[in-house]
């Protein structure tokens, strides 16, 4: 259809003389003449199934459903215009008219209706001079509901600067004033709705959500904005899926497959009411339950969906545009319809027949509905009353879009009012001219509309630089009322004008969740635990997670647990902090008492043996076993036993600095004494030549000096350790967080292991010497007892190292004490127990005669194997070389001694006699 398009209300008769209307006539509209006729486009019909044209054949008519809600919007526009015409304070000299057409929520139909609105239409099919027969053109259009349809209309109207005021188009793309300079709306931009939705899912802890929408600019821009906005809240998209407007079965299958395969049960849907019907129908067919729907404002209050799919939509949350509590007089206007006056409009006739499922006599309804046999209906009785039935048309409890339509009409009225206030010579246009409210250009009207600032039903109405109103949304929850009908309950709101952090307000206690989900968490989380919300589920679905180690919560339903201080720890139920348990090896506990008794007992045994040896110091056995070194060894062993006491009790810095050096030095003294005893015995029996002076290097003074020298090295190691990085007390909480282990840390690990290592070196030297002398005569053979004691010593300390490293706390200290005691007892009993046995129980063997007899039993075998002799010879050679350097004057004598040492023949009785006499 081609129409000649006018850009204003003035008409050109010459131009209209050639005006010819082509195509089918369309009489289904609502028209009332006036000085200014406001055009209106409303989706009175919508098609549940769209067919895409092939452009090869003439399109077949679509099958449409009737929208009673859209009829209420139409009636609201008519009511607002009539209300303005009756007011004396607003446009008293101007009468407003209206011309309203059905857009069918379809771009081709909307464009055709738009061209009819801005050009007028012929009456009774006349093709004569159009000026005489056509209706008044509309300089401003209120519509359309859909964002995609509105964009198509704006691109058609753009060249003629005809303003378009939408009451329901929310796409943020329409805020682009460079592309759409004549667009305004009373519906907030999606940019605000998306911020609200991002805050909503973040509030409920839904970090994994599905995003679906119809293949349109509205859904694409909305989902794109949501993905950008939700990043800051840690919300991720489980999937993003667009489906075509023409929802075929394959498209539905693809969508539902995505929904079923995803782990997220929260779905944010950007589409209209008609698309949701097809989706919900397929969801019911597949028996998919447990979905948490988040509705965009396009269907957040679509009560028609509840009538068919209420069980699937229970618990739905969605942001709805601001509601008017009441528009005075609107309800009476809506319900004033009677059978006598509905014949005037095809819209009203169709509504009446659809509502009461009857057929009017002489009905002007010519609309077809899929699957409905119109002629099988019974005739209307004429007694039908709208107050006897429920219809979205007469439901004024949710005046949201209707309120937007109401504000849109008043926006035009106030713009015309401001235009009428213009004074000649002070106007806003070229040469300070004004516009005539009865004969103006559309671009002049848009100038005043963008500057409008008024109140509608007590609410302030103003617009930003993009022509968008300040956003305010009600958070609606779909609940089932006692009679089974839908109850849209306001459970919160979003106010974009509020400060950041306070824009979203939610009353959790009022929310009802989907069936099977609203009671998924019956109990509260007790103190000692926190709420862990389940991913992708409503806020009521949570698990009670015990507070982590070291944390407590003392309130019911705590969202977070608080950490205890360093010196406190949670009690058993983790609802408050208590002082941590302090652990160290104490004298007051059983293990400490036992170890203390054993330490004292070991010292007492050592001193007792010392007393026995001192008492029998004149006996051959005591004298033959290097009495002075034996006394020193017993004293030092007593010290070793007492050193174990330093490891018991609460550690302190001074105690730690005494503990380790005392341990190292005391054992160095003991092993040095053993080493000296072993070397003396070995050298005594190896000096085979009568008159040899080798033994003078191993006299009492040299023995004492060797002990001091061996210990001095350990003392130097300990001093360096203490001066560089000394041991100190430390509160250890790493091993067990609930316990403070007071322990001595070594400070320098190198120092600690050097002390142990040096003791090991002394022990190895002692073991080597004792092993070489293991076959000396029985009564003099301390070496074999020293060898055995060294084996025990090695076994204890080799076992000690891994156990020491793998334990912690007081058990580490206990292991250390046990090693000290075991090695000390091993030395004490292996060396002195046999001698005490002879002294106390076998005194007859403690005689010179017995010593001599025992020493002479195996004279040829006392030096052991040839390897032993060679090793001893090597040691003797070293001693000879040293002696040679010191006493060069005696080279000949030392040479003879060297020859004698290499000889294997030995006179045992000579050495035995010499030893006893000494």
- Could you tell me the residue ranges of all domains in the chain? 190-324+471-510, 529-579, 590-845
Three-state secondary-structure class, residue 476:
strand
Encode pLDDT of 842-891 as tens digits: 877 776 666 655 544 444 343 344 444 444 454 455 555 545 554 554 44
Q: Which pLDDT belongs to residue 63?
A: 62
Q: Which of 12-16, 207-211, 223-227 has the lowest mean pLDDT?
A: 12-16
| Cα–Cα distance measured from residue 340 to residue 329, given in angstroms and rounded to the nearest whole number | 21
Reply yes or no on whether the pLDDT at 171 is more than 90: no
Strands 472-480 and 486-495: antiparallel
| Cα–Cα distance measured from residue 57 to residue 874, given in angstroms and rounded to the nearest whole number | 121
Q: Which pLDDT belongs to residue 166?
A: 94
Reply yes or no on whether the pLDDT at 744 is more than 80: yes
Encode pLDDT of 518-576 as tens digits: 445 446 788 999 888 777 655 556 788 899 888 999 888 888 899 988 888 898 889 98
Reply yes or no on whether the pLDDT at 51 is more than 60: no
CATH of domain 590-845: 1.20.1070.10
For the segment 287-307, the average pLDDT, to the nearest whole number, is 88
The alpha carbon torsion through 318, 321, 322, 323 (nearest 10 deg) reads: -80
Buried b (16+ CB within 10 A) or exposed e, 412-439: bbbbbbbbbebeeeeeeeeeeebbebee
Mean pLDDT taken over the chain: 80
- Cα 478 to the center of its chain, rounded Å: 30
Contacts of 244 (CB under 8 A, 6+ apart): 214, 215, 251
What is the band of 838 on the pLDDT scale with cuts at 50, 70, 90? Answer: confident
Helices (runs of H) and strands (runs of E) counted in the chain: 26, 29
- Of all residues in the chain, the percent with pLDDT exceeding 70 is 79
Q: Which pLDDT belongs to residue 831?
A: 81
Reply yes or no on whether the pLDDT at 319 is more than 80: yes
Q: Which pLDDT belongs to residue 1?
A: 41
Encode pLDDT of 599-633 as tens digits: 999 999 989 988 888 888 888 777 766 677 888 88
Reply yes or no on whether the pLDDT at 688 is more than 60: no
What is the band of 119 on the pLDDT scale with cuts at 50, 70, 90? Answer: confident
Reply yes or no on whether the pLDDT at 916 is more than 80: no
Reply yes or no on whether the pLDDT at 684 is more than 80: no
Q: Which pLDDT belongs to residue 484?
A: 84
Q: Which pLDDT belongs to residue 419?
A: 93
Q: Which pLDDT belongs to residue 679?
A: 76
Reply yes or no on whether the pLDDT at 910 is more than 50: no
Q: Name the most confidently modeled range: 681-695, 826-840, 883-897.
A: 826-840
| Cα–Cα distance measured from residue 859 to residue 686, given in angstroms and rounded to the nearest whole number | 13
Within 552-589, where are the H helices? none
Reply yes or no on whether the pLDDT at 718 is more than 70: yes
Q: Which of 246-260, 371-385, 439-453, 805-819 has the lowest mean pLDDT?
A: 371-385
What is the band of 773 on the pLDDT scale with cuts at 50, 70, 90? Answer: low
Under 8 Å between Cβ of 30 and 78 = yes
Looking at the chain, how many residues does it have? 918
Distances (CA, A) of 58 to 48, 52, 518: 21, 12, 52
- Of all residues in the chain, the percent with pLDDT exceeding 90 is 23
Q: Which of 36-45, 352-361, 405-414 has the lowest mean pLDDT?
A: 352-361
| Cα–Cα distance measured from residue 461 to residue 453, given in angstroms and rounded to the nearest whole number | 6
Q: Which pLDDT belongs to residue 363?
A: 66
| Cα–Cα distance measured from residue 269 to residue 596, given in angstroms and rounded to the nearest whole number | 77
What is the band of 160 on the pLDDT scale with cuts at 50, 70, 90? Answer: confident
Strands 568-570 and 378-379: unpaired
Reply yes or no on whether the pLDDT at 167 is more than 90: yes
Distances (CA, A) of 111 to 8, 106, 149: 19, 9, 9
Q: Which pLDDT belongs to residue 470?
A: 83
| Cα–Cα distance measured from residue 380 to residue 394, given in angstroms and rounded to the nearest whole number | 20
Q: Which pLDDT belongs to residue 32?
A: 92
**CA dihedral over 291, 297, 301, 302, signed as positive or negative:** negative
Q: Which of 393-397, 680-684, 736-740 has the lowest mean pLDDT?
A: 680-684
| Cα–Cα distance measured from residue 495 to residue 258, given in angstroms and rounded to the nearest whole number | 34
For the segment 774-802, the average pLDDT, to the nearest whole number, is 71
Q: Which pLDDT belongs to residue 534?
A: 72
CATH fourth-level superfamily of 190-324+471-510: Response regulator (3.40.50.2300)
Three-state secondary-structure class, residue 290:
coil
Contacts of 379 (CB under 8 A, 6+ apart): 358, 359, 360, 361
For the segment 464-471, the average pLDDT, to the nearest whole number, is 86
Q: Which pLDDT belongs to residue 135?
A: 67
Reply yes or no on whether the pLDDT at 321 is more than 60: yes
Tell me the two tokens of residue 25. Answer: 């006539």
What is the band of 918 on the pLDDT scale with cuts at 50, 70, 90? Answer: very low
Q: Which pLDDT belongs to residue 800?
A: 76
For the segment 141-156, the average pLDDT, to the nearest whole number, is 90
Q: Do domains 190-324+471-510 and 590-845 have the same CATH topology?
A: no
Task: Summarize the chain as % helix, strand, coil (round to 5).
Answer: 50, 15, 35
Reply yes or no on whether the pLDDT at 202 is more than 80: yes
Neighbours of 257 (CB within 10 A): 12
Supply the angle between the helices 782-806 and 653-686 in degrees, to the nearest 10: 150
């Amino acid at each position: 259809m081609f129409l000649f398009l006018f850009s204003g209300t003035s008409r050109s008769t010459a131009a209209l003389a050639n005006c010819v209307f082509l195509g089918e006539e369309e009489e289904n509209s609502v028209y009332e003449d006036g000085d200014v006729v406001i055009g209106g486009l409303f989706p009175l019909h919508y098609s549940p199934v769209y067919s895409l044209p092939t452009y090869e054949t003439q399109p077949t008519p679509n099958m449409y459903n009737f929208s009673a809600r859209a009829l209420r919007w139409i009636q609201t526009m008519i009511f607002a215009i009539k209300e303005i015409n009756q007011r004396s304070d607003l446009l008293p000299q101007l009468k407003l008219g209206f011309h309203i057409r059905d857009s069918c929520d379809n771009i081709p139909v909307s464009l055709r209706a738009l061209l009819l609105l801005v050009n007028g239409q012929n009456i009774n099919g006349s093709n004569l001079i159009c000026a005489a027969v056509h209706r008044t053109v509309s300089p401003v259009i209120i519509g359309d509901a859909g964002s995609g349809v509105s964009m198509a209309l704006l691109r058609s109207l753009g060249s003629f600067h005809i303003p378009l005021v939408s009451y329901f188009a929310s796409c943020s793309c329409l805020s682009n004033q460079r592309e759409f300079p004549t667009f305004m709306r009373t519906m907030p931009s999606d940019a605000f709705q998306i911020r609200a939705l991002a805050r909503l899912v973040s509030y409920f802890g839904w970090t994994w959500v599905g995003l679906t929408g119809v293949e349109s600019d509205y859904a694409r821009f909305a989902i794109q904005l949501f993905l950008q906005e939700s990043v800051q809240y840690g919300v991720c998209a489980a999937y993003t899926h667009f489906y075509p407007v023409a929802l075929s079965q394959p498209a539905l299958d693809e969508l539902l497959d995505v929904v079923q395969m995803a782990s997220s049960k929260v779905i944010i849907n950007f589409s209209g009411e008609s698309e949701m019907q097809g989706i919900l129908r397929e969801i019911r067919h597949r028996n998919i339950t447990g979905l948490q729907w988040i509705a965009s404002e396009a269907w957040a209050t679509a009560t028609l969906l509840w009538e068919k799919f209420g069980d699937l939509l229970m618990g739905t949350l969605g942001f709805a545009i601001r509601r008017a509590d009441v528009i005075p007089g609107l309800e009476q206007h809506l319900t004033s319809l009677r059978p006598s006056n509905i014949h005037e409009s095809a819209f009203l006739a169709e509504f009446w027949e659809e509502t009461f499922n009857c057929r009017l006599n002489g009905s002007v309804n010519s609309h077809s509905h899929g699957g409905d046999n119109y002629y099988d209906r019974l005739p209307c009785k004429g007694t039908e009353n709208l107050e006897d039935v429920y219809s979205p048309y007469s439901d004024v409890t949710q005046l949201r879009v209707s309120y937007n339509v109401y504000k849109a009409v008043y926006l035009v009225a106030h713009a015309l009012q401001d235009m009428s206030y213009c004074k000649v010579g002070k106007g806003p246009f070229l040469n300070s001219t004004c516009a005539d409210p009865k004969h103006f250009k559309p671009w002049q009207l848009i100038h005043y509309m963008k500057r409008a600032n008024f109140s509608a039903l007590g609410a302030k109405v103003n617009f930003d630089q993009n022509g968008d109103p300040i956003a305010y949304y009600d958070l609606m929850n779909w609940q089932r009322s006692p009679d089974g009908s839908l109850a849209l309950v306001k459970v919160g709101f979003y106010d974009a004008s509020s400060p950041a952090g306070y824009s979203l307000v939610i009353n959790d206690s009022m929310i009802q969740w989907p069936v099977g989900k609203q009671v998924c968490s019956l109990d509260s989380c007790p103190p000692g635990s926190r709420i862990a919300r389940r991913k992708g589920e409503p806020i009521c679905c949570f698990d009670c997670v015990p507070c982590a180690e070291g944390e407590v919560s003392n309130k019911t339903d705590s969202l977070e647990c608080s950490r205890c201080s360093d010196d406190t720890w949670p009690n058993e139920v983790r609802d408050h902090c208590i002082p941590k348990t302090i652990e160290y090896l104490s004298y007051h506990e059983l293990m400490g008492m036992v170890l203390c008794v054993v330490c004292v007992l070991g010292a007492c045994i050592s001193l007792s043996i010392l007393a026995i040896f001192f008492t029998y110091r004149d006996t051959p056995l005591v004298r033959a076993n290097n009495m002075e070194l034996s006394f020193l060894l017993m004293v030092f062993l007593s010290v070793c036993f007492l050193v174990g006491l330093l490891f018991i009790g609460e550690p302190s810095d001074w105690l730690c600095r005494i503990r380790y050096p005392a341990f190292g030095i005391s054992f160095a003294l003991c092993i040095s004494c053993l080493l000296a005893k072993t070397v003396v015995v070995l050298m005594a029996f190896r000096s085979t030549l009568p008159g040899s002076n080798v033994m003078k290097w191993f006299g009492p003074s040299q023995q004492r000096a060797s002990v001091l020298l061996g210990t001095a090295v350990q003392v130097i190691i300990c001093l360096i350790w203490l001066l560089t990085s000394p041991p100190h007390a430390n509160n250890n909480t790493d091993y067990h967080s609930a316990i403070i282990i007071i322990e001595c840390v070594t400070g320098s690990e190198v120092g600690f292991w050097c002390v142990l290592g040096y003791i090991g070196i002394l022990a190895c030297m002692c073991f080597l010497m004792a092993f070489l002398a293991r076959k000396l005569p029985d009564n003099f053979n301390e070496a074999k007892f020293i060898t055995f004691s060294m084996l025990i010593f090695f076994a204890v300390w080799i076992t000690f190292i891994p156990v020491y490293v793998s334990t912690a706390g007081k058990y580490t200290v206990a292991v250390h004490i046990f090693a000290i005691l075991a090695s000390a007892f091993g030395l004490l009993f292996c060396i002195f127990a046999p001698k005490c046995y002879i002294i106390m129980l076998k005194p007859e063997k403690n005689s010179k005669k017995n010593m001599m007899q025992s020493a002479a039993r195996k004279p040829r075998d006392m030096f052991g194997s040839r390897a032993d002799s060679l090793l001893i010879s090597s040691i003797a050679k070293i001693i000879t070389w040293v002696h040679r350097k010191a006493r060069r004057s005696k080279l000949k004598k030392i040479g003879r001694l060297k020859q004698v040492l290499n000889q294997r023949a030995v006179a045992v009785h000579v050495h035995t006699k010499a030893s006893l006499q000494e």
